[in-house]
Chain A
Amino acid sequence: MRKLLFVLVALAFVAGFVSAQEIAVIVKTGNSSFWQNVQTGCFDAQKELKAKTPKLSVTFLGPQSESNVAEEINIVESAIDRGVKAIVLAPSDVTALVPAVKKAKDAGIPVVIIDSLLTGPTSNYASFLATDNDAAGRACAKELIDRVKAATGSDSGKIAVMSYVAGVGSEIGRVGGFKDYIAKNSHLEIVTTQYSNADMPTALNQTTNVLSANPDLVGIFGANEPTAIGMGRAIAQAGLAGKIVAIGFDGAAQLQNFIKDGTLQAIAVQSSYNMGYQGVKTAYEASIAKKKVPAKVDTGFIIVTKDNIDTPAAKNVLY
């Protein structure tokens, strides 16, 4: 009896979703500030779109951890099974999610990919929305060159790159773009590239060593959040805050403090809010509104410095 009741409730639940026009947002994990910010964007888009489609409902789902690829596949498949109108997906693996996305396409459900690349034919999904990491890396390099010039009057000298995980998609674009821009637009010499494996204490130690081995370093780039925090700490402890040009990436509270106290001169902050907001809007256009959507959308990033940290544009992306 109890079981029957449970099944009935479950059925009613599913039926409720189906009659509601559901857009399922499935991300790498629910538990990080980055994805929380994506969620805020999704629900703001929902509020806006409800004016046109009152039955619209946006659901936000994700596995416990970013490495749990199998669970993410299950979540996608169950969304297909309950007949959602569209899926917004941040794939936690470049290949593993391809079959699930294909399955959605075959079921006539448009998929919008956000944040991370997915391999396979691009016809499998409606649109791809992400930070252009290559452009963000180049913007960081430009910022660093400009500031070194302003400080020393020349565009030569030694710099170091503090990277995170060698060879992951975002790193190749970001650090690759940075190095390429430096090589083509300045005489700065990259003396070393270190990889912290996105571990804050490791980044602190590596930066400390690089700074003491190269007292004549003029600039340094920390390529993701934990690495940039560890790097900032090392610079502060070495008494070099403000004496060396330091550029970070991402926008955690700690990094904002470093910008305000002058330890870091600039951070490139990805618009995770925009990924959620535009992701849901694009999915809506492709499914319920039945319009054509662009195949690729750059969700953008902002270079945040001491001068603009309190402006609304910066506050929008900082988390």
Chain B
Amino acid sequence: MSNARTQPSQEHGPEAVTAKGRSGVALDRFLTFGAVVVLFVVFSITAKNFFTMRSVLSLLLQTSTTTLMGIGVTFTIITAGIDLSIGSVVALTGTIAVMAAIAGVPIWISWLIGVAAGGVCGLANGLMITKMKLPPFIATLGMTFVIRGVALTITNANAWPAPESFGALGNDTIFRTGNQFPGISYPVIIMIVVAVLCHFILKKTRVGRYTYAVGSNEEAARLSGIKVNRVKILAYVACALCAGVVGTILASRMVTSQPNSAIGYELNAIASSVIGGTSLMGGVGTVGGAVIGSFIIGILTVGLTMQGANYFMQQIIIGLVVIFAVYFDQFRRK
């Protein structure tokens, strides 16, 4: 989260002025990660059965989907854009994967079809934003309805059961050792792989550096020869591919098509990213930040549920944590 702000700004944005030294970076990183640890310890003490191997693994599994969406949306926010269609893409891609499996497509190919469908949605978003010059907020908001409509149409709004083997991706685990260790779920492994890959792309590749450049100052990026449109399209494709992975994972966990689900998931994704230090103004953000942000939300949700806290109270607490996490983050930077 901290290097979220400092690293790109050292090269591009006006934030370069406020960039902190090495010790500041270390302190920032310690503080945000510390918040995760504090939450974890608090719930381990207060919530019964929270600190058990099974619960921790379940927490990882439940949070993995928000994390993946958070990583994806970070790409678009860094380019000073946004993707509001994530929830609909999740519903559509899961639905398409299930319908493919029901139609007799081999299971693992149906999963890939689901993810690829996400890529197509992202391409449509990207083209509308770059070629039709629509504001990302409007283009992706419009697509929210279009994509949801397609998901409802192909299922006739039904929850269709998929073949049982379709559930392997979301429900099976590896490293299982009998009853002592229930194993790590595939979605958690996928989350780690995607996080490492996306971190590498953003930090170590040219297209990654261009992404920050476009978000910091689009005109300057254009003048220095960066193909701005191509960078933006790639950001929206990356985001929707992540959403496609999530849609396929959730459909697999449910072994059911769910065209009406995932409404508003984009807001959790955006919150994760912003708690993790991504600036909605663009040019700033990291994969690590999005991961930490999503786990702050995830630990709160799971912990409060397990504590038996009143549901309405949970909503208030989560909302306040989002607000104050970002407030303290800004405060610290001044």
Chain A interface (Cβ < 8 Å from any Cβ of B): 31-33, 36, 64, 166, 191-195, 197-201, 204-206, 208-210, 212-213, 215, 225-226, 229-230, 233, 237, 252-254, 257
Known contacts A31-B157, A200-B254, A252-B159; is-contact A209 B261 (Cβ 8 Å): no
CB distance from B301 to the nearest CB of A (A): 8
A215 to B156, CA, bound (A): 38
Known contacts A194-B305, A205-B62; is-contact A200 B261 (Cβ 8 Å): yes
On whether the beta carbons of A213 and B256 are closer than 8 Å, the reply is no
Chain A residues touching B, majority SS: helix
Inter-chain contacts of B255 with A (CB < 8 A): 233
Chain B interface (Cβ < 8 Å from any Cβ of A): 47-50, 52, 54-55, 58, 62, 65, 149, 152-153, 156-161, 171, 250, 253-256, 258, 260-263, 301-302, 305-308, 311-312
15 extra A-B contacts, CB within 8 A, seeds A32-B157, A33-B158, A208-B58: A31-B153, A64-B149, A166-B311, A192-B311, A195-B311, A200-B159, A200-B256, A201-B254, A205-B301, A212-B58, A212-B306, A213-B305, A233-B256, A252-B158, A254-B161
A138 to B288, CA, bound (A): 49
On whether the beta carbons of A226 and B258 are closer than 8 Å, the reply is yes
Inter-chain contacts of B261 with A (CB < 8 A): 199-201, 226
On whether the beta carbons of A201 and B159 are closer than 8 Å, the reply is no
B263 touches which of A36, A199, A229 (Cβ 8 Å): A199
On whether the beta carbons of B308 and A229 are closer than 8 Å, the reply is no
Inter-chain contacts of B312 with A (CB < 8 A): 166
CB distance from A256 to the nearest CB of B (A): 9
Inter-chain contacts of B47 with A (CB < 8 A): 213
A31 to B308, CA, bound (A): 37
CB distance from A167 to the nearest CB of B (A): 10
A83 to B250, CA, bound (A): 48
CB distance from A207 to the nearest CB of B (A): 10
On whether the beta carbons of A233 and B302 are closer than 8 Å, the reply is no
Interchain residue pairs with CB less than 8 A apart (13): A166-B311, A166-B312, A192-B305, A192-B308, A192-B311, A194-B305, A200-B258, A201-B253, A201-B261, A204-B253, A208-B62, A209-B306, A233-B254
On whether the beta carbons of B311 and A230 are closer than 8 Å, the reply is no
